[in-house]
Structure 1
Amino acid sequence: MEKDTKGVSLLRSDPKKAIVKLSLPMMVALIVQALYNLVDSIWVAGLGPEALAGIGLFFPIFMIILAFSGGIGVGASSVISRKIGEKNKQQADSAATYSITLALIFGVLVTIGAFPILGSILKLTGATGKTLELAMRYSRIILIGITLLMFNNVVNGILRGEGDTKRSMHAITLGAVLNIFLDPLFIYTFGWGIDGAAYATVISIAASTLLMANWLFFKRNTYVSISFKHLQEGKKIIADILRVGIPTSLGQIIMSTSNFILNRFIIVAGGDVGVAIFTSAWRIINFGTIPLMGIANAVTSVTGAAYGERNAKKLESAYLFAIKFGLTIGLCTMALIFLFASKIAFIFTYSESASVLFDDLVKALKVLSFFIPTVPFGMFTSAMFQGIGHGIKSLAVSILRTVVLHIFFSWLFVFVLNLGLKGVWWGMLCGNIVAEAVTFAWGIMTSKNLRRNFGAETSKAMVQCNN
């Protein structure tokens, strides 16, 4: 029998209300997680530049692993929300069970496969000596917890898919807050150094895992039930999860890769100083987009449920309201960054050696602040594509924005128009504006096509009933 949970009721209710109520907990969780990342860097920085560099060496590998587990989580969220819309609980249960199984298998394979070649991969970065040694120590400990991390990301996707973002927030927040407290204890009080930072991360992941496992396997008070007894349509559901999950993962990897190319442009235009300015400014811009990521998670779940109901009007209402909601937040964030650019820049340039960055960093922040209000048009269209199971469209959006237009316009402004470092900022902004405009038009066209298709399905069903 189908359980009547608050999350499921919310997904089936007014789409505008659902977007707001599902977004807010995820915003809180993502902000707390971002603060943890900042605090973690601060504690590790106290061990010296080699320790910070050691973690930095493992970071790209870690992000690729996160991209794949996050992709499976988004795929699970999409399928489960659509099955909720269809009122097909058994297939929602199957999707949850298969996605967790995929995560566990992938986690074990990554752990076993990565250990023997980890040293060779890290050496490819050119690291040697103490930095390489610290990177190896840190990454080997983190790899022990990779399977748990996979489980966490996928269960978070399951919870979002069934409209339970509050519990997702609790799990993410527990891990982040615990890690913030364990870092100084393990690193400095116990004297474990960089190993302590890694153990703090693994223990925090384990704590979140225990909390989620308690909900799924012991209390069993989630909408979905994890069971291997009544699995349905295995190949079809796994393919549906991966149809969204793999493009999502590739999109995240492509976005990370494009930053390497942009860094090359920045080095040509502004040298090491330019990289420092970009790193500082982009960190602030990324932090400003965190609330929008929370809304994007809600868009995937709500549009997925509407798609499952075959309710194009509800789907379009959720999509357009989310963009208006995100645009409002984006404009407010842009105004704050623009108005307080000099105060924000001072945080990164208070030392005498870094003070030379101040003027250029203020200019970068002011230009890139206009980037934020454009984000909802592309990010939420991509989230809607994920919700309705069109993963390839979501990947195409990522490629258009990050590879084609960001890089093209930055190249144009730096190498053809000779605008120097500011050409990168203006190139990224112009590229994003064009990409988001094209993407939004594609989203509107898709929602109209769904309305027409669903209308045709309804008419056909009525004719069959009359016959």
Structure 2
Amino acid sequence: MTDSNENIQMITGDPKKAIVKLAIPMMISMLLIMLYNIADSIWVSGLGADALAAIGFITPLFMVLVGLGNGIGAGANSLIARHIGAKNYDEANNAALHAILLCIIISVISTAVMLIFMRQLLEMMGAGETIEYAVSYGNIVFGALFIFVYSGVASAIFRSEGDMRRATIAIAVTAVMNIILDPVFIYVLNMGIVGAAWATVFSATLSCIVMSYWIWGKKDLYLDLSPKNFHFEGKMVLDELQVAIPSTLENIVFSILAIIINGMLVVVAGTTAVAVYTASMRIVQLAMIPLLGIGTAVLTVAGVAYGAHNSENLKTAHSYSIKLGFVLSIAIGIVMYVFSSQIATLFAYTSASASMAPEIATAISILTLFVLAIPHGIMSAMMFQGVGKGIYSLIITLLRSLIFECICSYVFCFVFGWGVIGIYAGLVLGCFLGGVFGYVWAKLYVRKYQRIWDSH
């Protein structure tokens, strides 16, 4: 229990130190996830364009459902952290057990729905000639959906008590094993795309076994997840869903934004502009990993502070995360801007794509400002998730992405006549304005509870 006690002391102590200690392993975890996704695509691409396209059709469906698991994890993380802050050990245990119950229920329902309607969904998405590949892959990963949802929830349980080391190890196990098993299953055992699916399932299963051993075998967590500690509370389910559902919907919002921006780009400059935007946004997503790591840390620290009615720690967690985020954004932005031409060549290394290099470099240069416009909004949204106000986080995302970014992009592109550059500029300004709204709302929220708690 020594490590567990140290973790609890860390997340209930200095919020600045806690954010840094929690954020660094989370950044590593996200990089590992990105690496294993890239490796998966590289190995499958050796089977041909149809196999790779099949993965492309399955991935959005899979990510929505896994995203729901991550949303349950975020809800559990928030609720457990609040109970730890309030020193309510029994309720913290019960919250974790409720998250696992939700994980089981949602996995069973989602698996049944996907296995029944997957082919129809793929046909609607235009899978065409790749549909048999996609169904073969999908039957396996959706059949084992519980493994992936449980992995997200179990990892969140470790994060909720500040144990980022083991949460990171579990993700590392998945990433490393998937990279090793992919070529073995696909090529050595000659299983093709089915092998890629089984490699993904087996690597995630191993990670789940490791985490389950720590939870129920070794039993050295701060939390005690013995079945005897479970007693059903409808309110607890609702509390977790209040973060889980909005968190899942935010992923859908980002997908809708991408569709709208792609549509504008096609109208103004054709499909090449979409390819340029897709390539440049991959770099932006990579640059956002440190910010998402800090945001995930804020979720835990803010939850603990809220549960403890510690307004000073809540205020510090919010403001410090934004300052740290801006410092990292400036550093990352400088690298993106200075090396934009070199980065662009990564996506334009063949004769067919070489002509895109200057456009990609220009896009990256402008979207450097997008990275700078993110921190105050994302940290405010994650703070709201931490205190259990997932709907507030969703509202910030809706305003930023579907209103400010879309409207600004449309106005700059079509009304002002700036074309593609106007769309990029609109994304930057919209992101900044949405972030300002979220920042002001979060500040007022913290100030409100500071008055209430200080008066008691």
Which interval holds the TM-score relative to the shorter structure?
over 0.9
Q: Name the counterpart of 1:277.
A: 276
Q: Find the residue that maps to 2:346 and give its secondary structure.
A: helix
Q: Find the residue that maps to 2:443 and give its secondary structure.
A: helix
* Ranges of 4+ aligned residues in structure 1 off by more than 4 Å: 1-4
Post-superposition CA distance 1:19-55 (Å, at most 9, x none): 1011111111111111111121111112111111101
Q: Name the counterpart of 1:83.
A: 83
Aligned equivalents of 2:19 and 2:58: distance in 1? 36
Alpha-carbon deviation of 1:392? 1.1
Aligned equivalents of 1:67 and 1:404: distance in 2? 23
Aligned equivalents of 1:27 and 1:354: distance in 2? 31
Specify the code of the residue in structure 2 equivalent to 1:386: Q
Return closer, same or farther for 1:14/1:144 CA change in 2, 3 Å cut-off: same
Alpha-carbon deviation of 1:452? 0.7
- Structure 2 residue 155 is the aligned partner of structure 1 residue 121: no
User: CA contact under 8 A between 2:4 and 2:220: conserved in structure 1?
Assistant: no
Aligned equivalents of 1:401 and 1:177: distance in 2? 36
Specify the code of the residue in structure 1 equivalent to 2:422: G
Q: Give the TM-score normalised by structure 1.
A: 0.95
Specify the code of the residue in structure 1 equivalent to 2:348: T
User: CA contact under 8 A between 1:91 and 1:232: conserved in structure 2?
Assistant: no
Higher mean displacement: 106-115 or 284-293: 106-115
Spell out the pairing of 1:230-245 with structure 2 (5 A cutoff).
Answer: 230-232=229-231, 234-245=233-244
Spell out the pairing of 1:197-236 with structure 2 (5 A cutoff).
Answer: 197-232=196-231, 234-236=233-235
Aligned equivalents of 2:45 and 2:3: distance in 1? 48
Aligned equivalents of 1:231 and 1:195: distance in 2? 38
Spell out the pairing of 1:269-348 with structure 2 (5 A cutoff).
Answer: 269-348=268-347
- Structure 2 residue 436 is the aligned partner of structure 1 residue 437: yes
Aligned equivalents of 2:143 and 2:136: distance in 1? 12
Q: Name the counterpart of 1:12.
A: 12
Aligned equivalents of 1:245 and 1:127: distance in 2? 30
Q: Name the counterpart of 1:462.
A: none
Alpha-carbon deviation of 1:233? 6.2
Post-superposition CA distance 1:252-278 (Å, at most 9, x none): 221122211111111112211111101
Unaligned runs of at least 5 residues, structure 1: 459-467
Q: Name the counterpart of 2:43.
A: 43
Post-superposition CA distance 1:287-324 (Å, at most 9, x none): 11011111111100001101111010111111111111
Alpha-carbon deviation of 1:230? 3.3
User: CA contact under 8 A between 1:79 and 1:95: conserved in structure 2?
Assistant: yes
Aligned equivalents of 1:363 and 1:142: distance in 2? 39
Spell out the pairing of 1:345-356 with structure 2 (5 A cutoff).
Answer: 345-356=344-355
User: CA contact under 8 A between 2:75 and 2:242: conserved in structure 1?
Assistant: yes
Q: Name the counterpart of 2:191.
A: 192
- Structure 2 residue 169 is the aligned partner of structure 1 residue 170: yes
Q: Name the counterpart of 1:461.
A: none
Q: Name the counterpart of 1:66.
A: 66
User: CA contact under 8 A between 1:300 and 1:386: conserved in structure 2?
Assistant: yes
Specify the code of the residue in structure 2 equivalent to 1:13: G
Spell out the pairing of 1:451-466 with structure 2 (5 A cutoff).
Answer: 451-456=450-455, 458=456
Specify the code of the residue in structure 2 equivalent to 1:44: V
Q: Give the TM-score normalised by structure 2.
A: 0.97
Post-superposition CA distance 1:136-187 (Å, at most 9, x none): 1111111122101111111111111111111110111110111111111111
Specify the code of the residue in structure 1 equivalent to 2:6: K
Alpha-carbon deviation of 1:228? 3.1
Specify the code of the residue in structure 2 equivalent to 1:164: D
Alpha-carbon deviation of 1:4? 5.3
Aligned equivalents of 1:312 and 1:112: distance in 2? 45
- Structure 2 residue 397 is the aligned partner of structure 1 residue 398: yes
Q: Find the residue that maps to 1:5 and give its secondary structure.
A: helix
Alpha-carbon deviation of 1:70? 1.0
Aligned equivalents of 1:145 and 1:108: distance in 2? 10
Aligned length: 456
Specify the code of the residue in structure 2 equivalent to 1:206: T
Higher mean displacement: 43-52 or 167-176: 43-52
Specify the code of the residue in structure 2 equivalent to 1:410: S
Post-superposition CA distance 1:50-76 (Å, at most 9, x none): 111101111111121022111110000
Specify the code of the residue in structure 2 equivalent to 1:95: A
User: CA contact under 8 A between 2:4 and 2:221: conserved in structure 1?
Assistant: no
Specify the code of the residue in structure 2 equivalent to 1:364: A
Q: Name the counterpart of 2:426.
A: 427
User: CA contact under 8 A between 1:2 and 1:89: conserved in structure 2?
Assistant: no
Aligned equivalents of 1:139 and 1:249: distance in 2? 21
Aligned equivalents of 1:165 and 1:48: distance in 2? 38
CA-atom RMSD, angstroms? Answer: 1.4
Q: Find the residue that maps to 1:349 and give its secondary structure.
A: coil
Spell out the pairing of 1:372-383 with structure 2 (5 A cutoff).
Answer: 372-383=371-382
Sequence identity (%): 36
Q: Name the counterpart of 1:252.
A: 251
Alpha-carbon deviation of 1:3? 9.6
Aligned equivalents of 1:438 and 1:64: distance in 2? 27
Q: Find the residue that maps to 2:350 and give its secondary structure.
A: coil
User: CA contact under 8 A between 1:90 and 1:232: conserved in structure 2?
Assistant: no
Q: Find the residue that maps to 2:256 and give its secondary structure.
A: helix
Post-superposition CA distance 1:226-256 (Å, at most 9, x none): 1332335611211111111111111122112
